[in-house]
Structure 1
Amino acid sequence: MSTQSPAGAAQSTRGVIDAYLARLSERDLEGAVQLCVESVVWDAQSSPDVPWSGVRTGRDGVMEFFTTLHKHLKPEEFTVTHIVVEGEHGVIIGHLRDTVKATGNPLVTPFSAHVTVIDGQIVRYHLFEDTHALHRAMTER
């Protein structure tokens, strides 16, 4: 349990989220992963046809998520429109556009991610996106 005041926790949460997004934009995956606690829970549920789908734990699991995702998708646009923070909880809202390498299909989806930050590190990350659009982009030829 964090001993920070709610205002201090919100500021820390926002700072960690900003750092995470900056590292992603720089393609610094190792740096992004290092913002997570070793026991992080990374939840990106989707379809069984999506290789990076599922719950992973630990920094190695997060790195596996990103490595698998980048093996299958060519990123084209990742836009964050809102970040909402309350205490140790933050929500990132935006939209993205990628191309699925195997099918050539576009993936266009809004997304949100619920990020929990305690003592300056991400302890939980839960991704929400249009899983139907993702399934179609991965499977239709």
Structure 2
Amino acid sequence: MSENTSTATRAAVQELLRRIGEGAPERIAALYAPRVDWLLDWPDAEHRRAATPWIRRRSTRADIAEHYGQLGAYHVPGEAATQIERILVDGPDAVVLGEIRQTAKPTGRAYRARFALHLTVEDGLVTRHHVYEDSLAVAKAFAGR
């Protein structure tokens, strides 16, 4: 793998993280390929609920814009923070490790969730987006009282 590929991957990932921080769904989605291998899904049907509609499979730019729009709509603005601990890059693949801090808008409950994000970048666009996160923390924050 060439150093140029790793450098381009790192630049694309850093730009993606910057845009996610800005919170503009269409600008974020523009960094994804037209078709994406997307995984942000809980394995158990019991966790699929209306309170967390952004947690589902996606495959297109429109799906991805919708994801970021829903994510913003279901959380309290100004009460979010993401700490990126490390970005590991190997050719077209990158892994981002960190922690998100959010507040669920429907319940007012704050939560922290550790995550690993596996991205693949081809021709400057994200073609794979797999998130592994502390889904229990998210579920508890959105659970009814």
Fold-level similarity (TM above 0.5) = yes
**Which residue number in structure 2 is paired with residue 127 of structure 1?**
131
2:30 pairs with 1:26: no
Give the whole-Å Cα distance in 2 for the aligned partners of 1:64 and 1:42.
13
What is the aligned length? 137
2:81 pairs with 1:77: yes
Give the whole-Å Cα distance in 2 for the aligned partners of 1:81 and 1:128.
15
Kindly report which structure 2 residues correspond to 1:89-104, keeping only aligned pairs within 5 A, or say none. 89-104=93-108
Give the whole-Å Cα distance in 1 for the aligned partners of 2:106 and 2:120.
33
Aligned residues with identical type, % of pairs:
28
Q: Is the Cα contact below 8 Å between 2:23 and 2:68 reproduced in 1?
A: no
Q: Which structure 2 residue ranges, 5 or more long, are not aligned?
A: none
Higher fraction of strand: 1
**Which residue number in structure 2 is paired with residue 64 of structure 1?**
66
Name the aligned partner's letter for residue 140 of structure 2.
Answer: R
Q: 1:97 to 1:27 in 2, by over 3 A?
A: same
Q: Is the Cα contact below 8 Å between 2:25 and 2:66 reproduced in 1?
A: no
TM-score, normalization by structure 2: 0.88
Give the whole-Å Cα distance in 2 for the aligned partners of 1:26 and 1:98.
15
1:54 partner SS: coil
Give the whole-Å Cα distance in 2 for the aligned partners of 1:109 and 1:78.
10
Name the aligned partner's letter for residue 63 of structure 1.
Answer: A
Q: Which structure 1 residue ranges, 5 or more long, are not aligned?
A: none
Does 129-138 or 23-32 show the bigger shift?
23-32
